[in-house]
Amino acid sequence: MNELKINRATGFPVKKKTFEFLQEAYGSAIKHLCKMHGDNVILYGCELVGANRTAGAVVINGELLPFEASPDNAKILIIEQSEPVEYQGGELLPAYYTRVAKCGSTGTVNLADLKRIGEKPQATAWKNVEYLSHFDTTGTGVMQSRVDESGKGLVVGPFETELKYGKTTDKFAIAKTSLRPKKRQPAMISNLNMGDSANLRTVSIYGYIDTDGILYMDNTIAGHGYSMLRQCWVSACIDLD
């Protein structure tokens, strides 16, 4: 963290740059700390009591803001106010800005989209994935994803494809899931029948799910020298927080 060192009790030239440096020093540190938890979170407070939300603190689009007690509503509204000061010569200009968040009927962020720190993701029903690229499924069911009651993300199901030997890419995007982990999570892909119709072989390889919920398979096909890949099964249990 940057810091300002004043080595004498008097004589330091306080200029506009001095205040800009101080603001940038603590402001950037706060932004980095907020980034640890995400761009839109509730740090504390903001509890629903009757028809009102209690005071607290939130992070909105990466900005730390006090949350003002207010009637419950669907949106988060940010209110900015300024206080002017009189410069030399008598000119009044805005100088002291304060920003607070509160519930409102208008705003760019939904209150429901704010994740509370320490709160487990809510359980969801199974949802079919969106198969990507040349991957598909035939006859053996559909791959699905969900959040379970413990807050873990689950992905289970088949995909089938035909990949010609000689692909040079290092990974393949298989499907888009409903999950949104904060960092890349591993996924096991097993029961793969690799080869042509006369030379099938079962192997297991690894894949991963990225922060956008895309399931990828690492490209290990070229090393086996087979001409096709089919009848695959994905099984993943991942952390979402």
Instruction: Using 50 as the pLDDT threshold, list the residues of the chain that sit under it.
Output: 139, 165-166, 168, 221-227
pLDDT for 136: 55
Nearest to 41 by CA among 28, 56, 54, 26: 56
Q: How far apart are CA 195 and CA 201, in angstroms?
A: 6
pLDDT for 49: 95
141 close to 157: Cβ distance less than 8 angstroms: yes
User: Token match 């900005």: residue?
Assistant: 63
pLDDT for 107: 86
What are the tokens at 89? 């010569």
Whole-angstrom CA distances from 204 to 129, 133, 139, 166, 234 are 21, 21, 21, 19, 10
pTM: 0.53
Q: How far apart are CA 189 and CA 163, in angstroms?
A: 16
pLDDT for 169: 54
pLDDT for 148: 92
Q: Where are the domains of the chain?
A: 37-116, 127-238
pLDDT for 13: 92
The CATH superfamily assigned to 127-238 is Phage bIL170 RBP, head domain (2.60.40.2460)
- Note the residue count of the chain: 241
pLDDT for 224: 46
pLDDT for 216: 87
pLDDT in tens, 109-164: 999 889 888 777 788 999 999 888 656 555 456 899 999 988 899 999 888 766 55
pLDDT for 117: 83
